[in-house]
Amino acid sequence: MFHVTSLREEHLEESYEIEKLTNPTPWTYKNFKSSFEVGHFGLICIYKNQIAGFAIYSPIKPEAHLLNIAIAHKFQKKGAGALLLNTIFDQCTVMGIKTIYLEVRISNIKAILFYEKFGFKKDAIRENYYTGEHKEDALLMSKVLA
C-alpha cells in the first residue's frame, strides 16, 4: 500500500501542509527549508501520488535524533508511521548509529504509545520544553538499536 522514499525539495510544501494539520505547534515552512538545507535526513511515505506522511532525523554518529514525524489524518493507523520508523532504524543501523533520541509532548499519548511499540523507552521529563501558545513538558525517549 505505502512505499518510502527520500524527501526532496519538491516535497517540502506538501509535507508542511501535513505538519500544519497534525502538530499543535507546527514547524514553519522556513523550518522545513532550513532543516533540508542543513542536511537532515528526510523520508516520505507515499500512497499512490500523495504524500501520506514524512519523518525527519539527524544522524550524528553514534546517535540520531528524530526531529519530526507526522502522518496525515486520513492515513493514520494504517502502518505508514511504522514504515517510516522502520526505514529510519534500517538506515541508522547501516550508518552505525547506536541510539535514537526524541522528544514528545507529554500529552501526546498516541505518539508515546506508537514509540513504545517500536522499543523506545521513557528516559526523562524536560520541563517547559515546549514554549509559546501551547506550553508543555517534553518526554524524552530513546531506543538502542540492536
Ligand X SMILES: CC(C)(COP(=O)(O)OP(=O)(O)OC[C@H]1O[C@@H](n2cnc3c(N)ncnc32)[C@H](O)[C@@H]1OP(=O)(O)O)[C@@H](O)C(=O)NCCC(=O)NCCS
Residues near ligand X (CB under 6 A) are 22-23, 69-71, 76-82, 104, 108, 110-111, 113-114, 117
Residue 44 has which C-alpha cell? 516520505
C-alpha 104, offset from chain centre:
10
Least distance from ligand X to the Cβ atom of residue 115, Å = 8
Nearer to ligand X, 55 or 97 (CB): 55
Least distance from ligand X to the Cβ atom of residue 45, Å = 8
Nearer to ligand X, 23 or 58 (CB): 23
**Helices within 8-136 (DSSP H only):** 12-22, 29-38, 80-95, 109-117
Per-position b or e across 66-84, b if 16+ CB within 10 A of its CB? bbbbbbbeebbebebbebb
Least distance from ligand X to the Cβ atom of residue 95, Å = 22
Least distance from ligand X to the Cβ atom of residue 25, Å = 10
The SS3 of residue 107 is coil
